[in-house]
Structure 1
Amino acid sequence: MSSAADSSDRLEKRLGLVDVYAIATGAMISSGFFLLPGIAAGRAGPAVVLAYILSSLLMLPGLFSIAELSSAMPRAAGTYFFIHRSLGPWAGTVGGFGDWLTLTFKSAFALVGMGAYLAIFVDVPIQPVAIALTVAFGALNIFGAKETARLQLVLVVTLVTIMAFYIGQGLVEVVGEGAVATVSGAFTPFLPFGIGALASTIGLVFISYAGLTKVAAAAEEIRDLDRNLPLGMLLALGTIAFIYAGGVFVMVSVLPAEELYEDLTPVATAGEEILSWLPGQTGLILVVIAAIAAFASTGNAGILTASRYPLAMARDRLTWSGFDQVGRFGTPTVGILATCVLMIISILFLDVEALASLGSAFLLLIFALVNMSVIIMRESRTASYAPAFRSPFYPWTQIIGVISTLGLIATLGPFSIVFVLVVVGIATAWYRIYARPRVENRGAIYTLFARLGERQDAGIDEELWSILQERGASEEDSFDELVARAQVIDLPGKADMTEVIGKVAGVMRSQLQRGMQDLDEAITASGVRAVVPENASAVVHDLFLEDLEHPEVVLVRAKRGVRIGGGRRFPGSSGEPEADENGNGARVHALVFLFSPEGRVTQHLRLLAQLVTMVEHEAFPEVWRRAHDDQELLETLLRDERYASIVVGSPGPPSKMVDKRLYELTFPGNTLVAMVRRGDRTIFPKGDTLLRAGDRLTVIGSPADVVTLQGDASRHATGGGSGDVSGGGSRDAAGDGAAGTEEA
Structure 2
Amino acid sequence: MKEIMRKLPVEAIIKTHSKEGGLSRTLGAFELTMMGVGVIIGSGIFVITGVAAAEHAGPGLILSFALAGIACGCAALCYAELASAVPASGSAYTFAYAGLGEVFAWFIGWCLTLEYVVAMASIAVGWSAYASNIFQLMGISLPPFLRADFFSGGFLNLPAVFIITLMALLQLRGARESAKLNNILVFVKVAVIFLFIILVARHIDPSNYDPFMPFGWSGVFSGAAVVFFAYLGFDAISNSAEEVKDPQKNMPRGIIGSLVIATILYMIVTLMLTGVVKYSVYAGVAAPVAYALNEIGIRWGSALVSVGAIAGLTTGVLVLLGSESRLIYSISREGLLPATFSKVSRRKVPDKAIICTWALGCVLAGFFPIDMIAELCNIGTLWAFVFVAVTVISLRKRHPELPRDFKVPAVPFIPVAAVVLCGFLAIQLDWITWAAFFAWTLFGFLIYFGYGRKHSRLGRQSGESEGTKNS
> Aligning the two structures, in what range does the TM-score lie when normalised by the shorter sequence?
0.7 to 0.9
SS in 1 for 2:233: helix
Range 227-236 or range 45-54, more displaced: 227-236
Distance 1:210 1:429 in 2: 27
Contact 2:334–2:457 at 8 Å: present in 1 too?
Answer: no
The aligned residue for residue 36 of structure 2 is 24
1:104–1:303 CA contact under 8 A, matched in 2: yes
User: How far did residue 349 of structure 1 move?
Assistant: 4.0
Q: Measured at CA, do residues 420 and 4 of structure 1 come closer, stay the same or move farther in structure 2, by a change above 3 Å?
A: same
Which whole-Å CA distance do the structure 2 matches of 1:322 and 1:383 have between them?
Answer: 36
1:250 corresponds to 2:272: yes
The residue that corresponds to 2:435 in the other structure is 418
Relative CO higher for 1 or 2, CA cutoff 8 Å, sep ≥ 6?
2
Match of 1:71 among 57, 79, 84: 84
Following the alignment from structure 1 to structure 2, what is the Cα–Cα distance between the partners of residues 148 and 202? 31
For residues 84-129 of structure 1, give each alpha carbon's deviation from its aligned partner in whole angstroms, at most 9, with x where no partner exists.
2211111111111221233122212222321221111321333333
Find the partner of 2:290 among 261, 264, 268. Answer: 268
Q: 1:350 to 1:195 in 2, by over 3 A?
A: closer
User: How far apart in 1 are the matches of 2:236 and 2:18?
Assistant: 24
Shift of 1:22: 1.2
SS class of match (1:131): helix
Distance in 2 of aligned mates of 1:396 and 1:314: 34
Instruction: Select the residue among 387, 393, 397 that pairs with 2:414.
Output: 397
Q: CA deviation at 1:262?
A: 5.2
Q: How does 1:233-632 map to 2 (within 5 A)?
A: 233-261=255-283, 263-273=285-295, 276=298, 281-351=299-369, 353-380=371-398, 382=399, 385-439=402-456
Taking the aligned partners of 1:73 and 1:141, their CA distance within structure 2 comes to 24
- Post-superposition offset of 1:386: 2.1
- Is 2:194 aligned against 1:164? yes
Distance 1:397 1:383, change over 3 A: closer
Structural RMSD (CA): 2.2
Q: Please say if residues 100 and 307 of structure 1, whose CA atoms lie closer than 8 Å, have aligned partners that are also in contact.
A: no
Post-superposition offset of 1:232: 2.1
In structure 1, the partner of 2:153 is none
1:142 and 2:164 aligned: no
CA distance in 2, matches of 1:220, 1:6: 7
User: Which of 190, 196, 210 pairs up with 1:188?
Assistant: 210
1:463-498: CA deviations, max 9, x gaps?
A: xxxxxxxxxxxxxxxxxxxxxxxxxxxxxxxxxxxx
* Alpha carbons 2:75, 2:388 under 8 Å: kept: yes
SS in 2 for 1:121: helix
* Cα deviation 1:529-550 (Å, max 9, x = unaligned): xxxxxxxxxxxxxxxxxxxxxx
Cα deviations by residue, 1:500-535 (Å, 9 ceiling, x for unpaired): xxxxxxxxxxxxxxxxxxxxxxxxxxxxxxxxxxxx
Inter-partner Cα distance in structure 1 for 2:214 and 2:125: 33
Amino acid at match of 1:324: S
The CA deviation string for residues 247-301 of structure 1, in whole angstroms up to 9 with x for no partner, is 110111110243244544321122235673xxxx311111111210121011111
Separation (CA, whole Å) in 1 of partners of 2:383 and 2:19: 32
- Would you say the 8 A contact 1:5–1:315 is kept in 2? no
Q: 1: CA distance between counterparts of 2:247 and 2:70?
A: 23
CA distance in 1, matches of 2:17, 2:52: 45
Which aligned pairs between 1:75-224 and structure 2 lie closer than 5 A? 75-122=88-135, 123-124=141-142, 125-126=146-147, 127-174=157-204, 182-183=205-206, 185-224=207-246
Contact conserved, 1:171 with 1:250, CA < 8 A, in 2? yes
- Kindly provide the amino acid, as one letter, of the partner of residue 28 in structure 2: G
1:66 Cα shift?
Answer: 0.7
Any idea what the Cα deviations from partners look like across 1:305-337, whole Å, max 9, x if unmatched?
110011101111101111111111111111111
Rounded Cα–Cα distance in structure 1 between residues aligned with 2:71 and 2:111: 21
Tell me how far apart the structure 2 counterparts of residues 63 and 6 of structure 1 sit (CA, whole Å).
24
Structure 1 portions without partners, runs of 5+: 175-181, 443-457, 460-744
- CA gap 1:315/1:115 in 2 versus in 1, 3 angstroms: same
TM-score by length of 2: 0.86
Tell me whether 1:7 sits opposite 2:19 in the alignment: yes
Alignment check: 8 A CA contact 2:134 2:306 kept: no
More helix by share: 2
Q: Distance in 2 between matches of 1:191 and 1:197?
A: 7
The CA deviation at 1:192 is 2.6
TM-score by length of 1: 0.55
AA partner of residue 360 (structure 1): N
Q: Which amino acid aligns with 2:44?
A: G
Q: 1:440 to 1:232 in 2, by over 3 A?
A: closer
Whether contact under 8 Å (2:335, 2:457) holds in the other structure is no
Deviations 1:206-229 (A, max 9, x none): 111022211110011111223322
The 1-side partners of 2:346 and 2:169 are apart by 13
Tell me how far apart the structure 2 counterparts of residues 259 and 389 of structure 1 sit (CA, whole Å).
45
Alignment-derived partner of residue 73 in structure 2: 60
Q: 1:394 to 1:273 in 2, by over 3 A?
A: same
Quote the Cα distance in structure 1 between the aligned partners of 2:369 and 2:159. Answer: 17
Measure, in 2, the Cα distance between the counterparts of 1:264 and 1:334. 32
The question of whether the paired residues in 2 share the 8 Å contact of 1:31 and 1:110 is answered with yes
Match of 2:251 in 1: 229
Residue pair 1:167, 1:243 contacting (<8 A) in 2 also: no
Amino acid in structure 1 at the alignment position of 2:183: L
- Structure 1 position 41, deviation (Å): 1.6
What is the total number of aligned residue pairs between the two structures?
A: 431
CA deviation map 1:183-234 (0-9, x unaligned): 1x32233223222221111111111102221111001111122332222222
Equivalent position amino acid for 1:365 in 2? W
2:124–2:365: 8 Å Cα contact kept in structure 1?
A: no
CA spacing shift, 1:389–1:294, aligned 2, 3 Å: same
Is the radius of gyration larger for structure 1 or structure 2?
A: 1
Deviation at 1:242, TM superposition (A): 2.1
